[in-house]
Each structure stands twice: as structure tokens, then as C-alpha cells.
Amino acid sequence: MRCGSELPQIDIAYETWGTLDHERSNAVLLFTGLSPSAHAASSAADPSPGWWEDMVGPGKPFDTDRWFVICVNSLGSCFGSTGPASIDPRAQTPYRLRFPVLAIEDIAAAAHEVILALGIERLAAVSGSSMGGMDALAYALLFPGRVRALVQVSCAVHSLPFAIALRSLQREMIRSDPEWQRGEYAPGQGPIRGMRLARKLGMITYRSAAEWRDRFGRERVNQPSGDAFGINFEIESYLEAHALKFVGGYDANCYLYMSRAMDLFDAAAHGGGILEKAFARIDVNDALVIGVETDFLFPVDQQRELSRLLDAPGRRVEFHPLASIQGHDSFLVDMDRFRPVLGEFFASL
């Protein structure tokens, strides 16, 4: 791993859609944001809707009639891939905080093992949104010659202090919950309250003030809690519902590691601290960068910077700042804006 530690053995969960062609030249690797599993879309084996159901499938932007799409569950996560909640085979107990410091590069390198195992020499494209966009960028930096096209959605070359502050606070909420027990909670248990708070702050940072103004305004709930500080406004009820849905599904220690990895990543580290030097390592033919004007976690200036850094002689770089009002999460919800941009890019490859 990038921190110098080693894991004795890892599992990487992944799903695929479409068919790998004879030349093994049509593979598209898809990285996820912080929390999703490898289940990006439904399939015969698992018909439940995936986290990017509208984007991956026959005739969709990631057209599985043409591309062989591979989505990996990140190293460090808890949906089949090895992470802090996994059993350390040496100790026969979960790693918990004994898991080494996780880097975005480790997630990329673990995914590369899947690509090698599938016998793929060169990927047609690597794509990722949010944290997954950092993973995709790390992949292109670590494995030159292995990627023809790079797709960067709502991500950045590194995190700015505002985003670090928000994530640091989320982690502190989790670690402040006595049920966290310094990471030693029983498997399947953990800091429910802390995770609920962290998820609510997540939702606040993932959406936008404009969306909520239009959607909730100052509407009150029908049955306000008798408690003066309980749920009274619709926006409070919305956050509560989202937090309840999330908690229990995601391991708290995994969340801490993944969250910190986003703070620590800096593409400049691949060029001795100089971004331009790092980006000179990248040799993709085509690049697509998408950002959203209402995103304040990864503000659109960061995607503008990405597209500038990716610009190189002989390379096609497309940059699309979109006017979606759903903030950072727009790539998950504003399909009408995202589908054509991604669809046309993949069609042009």
C-alpha cells in the first residue's frame, strides 16, 4: 500500500455488464463514490436497481451492447472488498483501526488487479464520479499506457480545505459517539448516532441550497414532534429519512478510512509536488470532464482546473460545466443533463 504497509491478501468485489470482445479492447472501468457497492446497474444475476441504473445498460451512455463495463467495490469499503471491517487473516479478527492508512492510489491499484486478472491490457476508458473520479485519475497516473480515455465527473486533483473541514467534522461526529468504542465495536454494530449525524452533514454537502429552497421552502411536517427541538420542518424530515436509510448499511470504520483517503489524495504527489509534472505522466487520447455549478464540495473551478491540466497536444479534452441545481449529487439525479454528455462522449470513442 502507498503508506508502506502490506495486506497479506485482498478480495476485490466487482460486477460486469456486456461482453469483453476478442481483442479485449472494449473494457470500461467504473469507480464509485465513497459509499456505493459495485452494483452500478441491474443484471440477470442481480435484478435490483444499481446506483447508476440510468447510465449503464444497453443503449445507455455506458452502452453495454458495445462496452464491457466493470465496476469495482473500492478497497477499504465494506461491500465484498477487503476493508477495515474484513477479517485480518493473521489475527482472525476484523482489521478495524489496524487497517493501514488507505490512499486513493491503493483503491486504483486494487482495481488494477481485477483488470489484470481479466487479461485486459488496455482499458477503453476509466471513469469515476466524486471520490471515484479521484480513483480514476490515480489510475491514469499510476498506469500510463493502460487507459485510452479518462472520464472525470465532479471530482478534483485534490481536496480544498473547505471539503477537508466538512469531512473532518463528519469523522469527528462518528468518533465522538461513545458507541464507536475507538473502532472496537462488534461487527454489524457501531456508532449509530454518529453515523446518522455524519450522513446528514453528507446530505447537506451533496445537495444545494437552491434545490432545497425550491423543493422544501419553509414547509412544516404534518405531525410535528412534541419536542421543541424535534422534527418540525420538511427539510429536517428529509434529512432524517436519508440518515436512517444509510445507517446500518455502511461500516463506520470503513467510512473513516475512505473519507480520510479523499483528504489525503493529491495528484501533485505524482509529479514531485507539481501538478503539471504529474499530469505529464497521463497519456490518454480523450478526456471528458464534467462539473456542476452548484457543487460546493467539489466546486466547478476544480473541474475547470482538471480540464486545463489534462489539455495536451493531440488530445481531445471536453469540459462541461452543467447548470444542475442538485449540487455535488447531480450526477446521481440530474440524468437529463448528464446522460447526453456522457452518451455522446462514449459514442465518439
193 φ, ψ (degrees, to nearest 5): -65, -45
Number of residues that bind a copy of itself (CB under 8 A): 48
Give, in degrees to the nearest 5, the angle at Cα 176 between 200 and 206: 20
3-state secondary structure of 299: coil
Q: Which three cell numbers stand for residue 69?
A: 463495463
Least distance CB 258 / a copy of itself (angstroms): 12
Least distance CB 31 / a copy of itself (angstroms): 22
Among 209, 244, 274, 347, indicate the residue that binds a copy of itself (CB under 8 A). Answer: 209
Q: Which residues contact 141 (CB under 8 A, 6 or more apart)?
A: 105, 267, 270, 278, 281, 282
Q: Which positions are catalytic? A: 130, 295, 328
Q: For a copy of itself, which is the closer residue by CB, 93 or 225?
A: 225
Q: For a copy of itself, which is the closer residue by CB, 152 or 159?
A: 159
Least distance CB 267 / a copy of itself (angstroms): 12
Q: Which residues contact 290 (CB under 8 A, 6 or more apart)?
A: 151, 152, 153, 154, 303, 319, 320, 322, 331, 338, 341, 342
- Kindly give the pairing relationship between strand 286-292 and strand 316-322: parallel
**By 3-state DSSP, what share of the chain in percent is helix, strand and coil, each rounded to 5?**
40, 15, 45
Among 25, 42, 43, 168, indicate the residue that binds a copy of itself (CB under 8 A). Answer: 168
Least distance CB 97 / a copy of itself (angstroms): 7
Least distance CB 29 / a copy of itself (angstroms): 27
Task: Measure the CA–CA gap between 296 and 205, rounded to whole angstroms.
Answer: 7
Chain positions 175 to 194 lying near a copy of itself, rule: CB under 8 A, are 175-178, 193-194
Among 7, 233, 283, 318, indicate the residue that binds a copy of itself (CB under 8 A). Answer: 233
Q: Which three cell numbers stand for residue 61?
A: 451512455
Contact between 195 and 255 under an 8 Å Cβ cutoff? The reply is: yes
Q: Which residues contact 153 (CB under 8 A, 6 or more apart)?
A: 127, 128, 129, 130, 132, 133, 289, 290, 331, 338
Binding flag, residue 333, a copy of itself (CB under 8 A): no
User: Which range in 111-119, 126-134, 232-240, 276-284 contacts a copy of itself by CB under 8 A?
Assistant: 232-240
Binding flag, residue 139, a copy of itself (CB under 8 A): no
Among 19, 89, 113, 162, indicate the residue that binds a copy of itself (CB under 8 A). Answer: 162
Binding flag, residue 171, a copy of itself (CB under 8 A): yes
Binding flag, residue 263, a copy of itself (CB under 8 A): yes
Instruction: Report CA torsion sign: 24, 314, 293, 156.
Output: positive
Residues that bind a copy of itself (CB under 8 A): 97, 101, 158-162, 164-166, 168-169, 171-173, 175-178, 193-194, 197, 200-201, 203-204, 208-209, 212-213, 215-218, 228-229, 232-236, 239, 256, 260, 263, 266, 296, 299
